[in-house]
Amino acid sequence: MTISAFDIAILGAGPVGRVLALMLARVAPDPARIALLQGASPAPVTPAAAIPAADPRVLAMNHGSRVLLESLHAWPAKAADILNIHVSQRGRLGRSVIRNTDFDVPQLGCVVAYSALHAKLEECVAASGVTLLSGPPATIDGQDADGVRIRLGDAAVTCRVAVQSDGAGASDVRRDYGQHALLTTAHATLPRRGWAWERFTPEGPLALLPHPQTPDAYSVVWCSAPDRAAELAALDNGAFSRALSAAFGDRLGRLSCQAPRHVFPLALSARRALVQGRVAAIGNAAQTLHPVAGQGLNLGLRDAGRLAQTLGAWLPAPDTNPAAALADFGRARQVDRIVTAGLTDLMPRIFATGLAPVEHACGLALLGLDLAAPLRAPLARHLLQGFRA
């Protein structure tokens, strides 16, 4: 049974898919001809709970992502500003500090609760006029010169263009980092408002981000070998707090964790080509990155923004061939994807080689970045807003 025919169908209703739907709805002659496909009976999404431990997932949004979400009226009510980013490595000299005043922006980025962002986007999509379809996981069932067929359980959807934004991942390029990320929330006895911390350790990167719900709380992303991550997750709260304080240092005083801990495997996966016929991929369906520097969602939102721009010019005449628009999207995203994936792939590996000369060289590089603003600026600007074509 075919449910209906659409101009564009977006497979996946996470933040990247919803942002794409909102951007397309603004320029589409008939937003109802844009379908957003989500899984059946999604779990209720409510604004972030009163305590950070209720949901440890937070998102580091750079300045460019905030500007985009604010333009869509989709920015959550609560956010923790990042005004300074402190980068260092344990046991080696060298550190670098990036400040918002260096670039004349209100903040380098912000941290928002995943649940709060999802709820706000859900509210905006409901008012946008796009068609929201729920059901079993949607899959591409085939395409021809006229369109794409999508399987939704026993039903089918047809569309002129399909966009994969379902986080299914890709296997063209893949690297297993041999690391797991432990996520939790910790409280500091000497919190520093507006500061985010990226500390490279021999085990892997350790990031502390200001939490949007509690002034003295930090979201912790601690990367280490799988056995070590499992060991840390199994510690009692007191032992884990001591281990965290030892790994991070005393810049925030004592760190105390009473929150649940969650562990996830880390890998790089990416598609070489974002477009296959009438099907495009964005977000985690196009690439998944190491969480260092928090670039994954920001890169996905740039995918969505560029695709909305190119398809927006095609939507007034959907009977025409979208090949030129899709090809333009694929070309325009090449540099940003390569640079961002390259940075997030290199950093966690080069700082954890275990080779003293390499790690000392990394420390000198951090020191050089800190002392010379012209050297620091290109990297910081990319982390702020990415490459725009």
Sorted by where each starts, the structural domains of the chain and their CATH numbers stand as 2-42+116-172+268-345 (3.50.50.60), 59-113+177-266 (3.30.9.10)
Tens of pLDDT, residues 303-337: 999 999 999 999 999 999 999 999 999 999 999 99
Average pLDDT over residues 12-36: 97
Phi, psi of 235 (to 5 degrees): -65, 155
pLDDT at 359 over 70: no
387 to 292, 302, 311, 327: CA distances (angstroms)? 18, 9, 20, 18
- What is residue 63's predicted lDDT score, i.e. its pLDDT? 87
Tens of pLDDT, residues 281-301: 999 999 999 998 888 999 999
Average pLDDT over residues 109-121: 95
Report pTM. 0.89
Higher pLDDT, 363 or 348: 348
pLDDT at 230 over 90: yes
- Residues with Cβ within 8 Å of residue 186, at least 6 apart in sequence: 208, 217, 218, 220, 241, 244, 255, 256, 257, 259
pLDDT at 26 over 80: yes
- What is residue 96's predicted lDDT score, i.e. its pLDDT? 80
Average pLDDT over residues 43-65: 63
Q: What share of the chain is helix, strand, coil (3-state, %, to 5)?
A: 40, 30, 30
Higher pLDDT, 352 or 65: 65
pLDDT at 40 over 80: no
Residue 270 buriedness (CB in 10 A; 0-12 / 13-18 / 19+): buried
pLDDT at 54 over 50: yes
- Residue 126's CB is within 10 A of a number of other CB atoms, namely 10
- What is residue 258's predicted lDDT score, i.e. its pLDDT? 94
Higher pLDDT, 213 or 230: 230
b/e for 182-219, b at 16 or more Cβ within 10 A? bbbbbbbeebbeebbbbbbbebbbbbbbbbbbbebbbb
- What is residue 91's predicted lDDT score, i.e. its pLDDT? 61
Q: Distance between CA 43 and CA 37 in Å, rounded?
A: 15
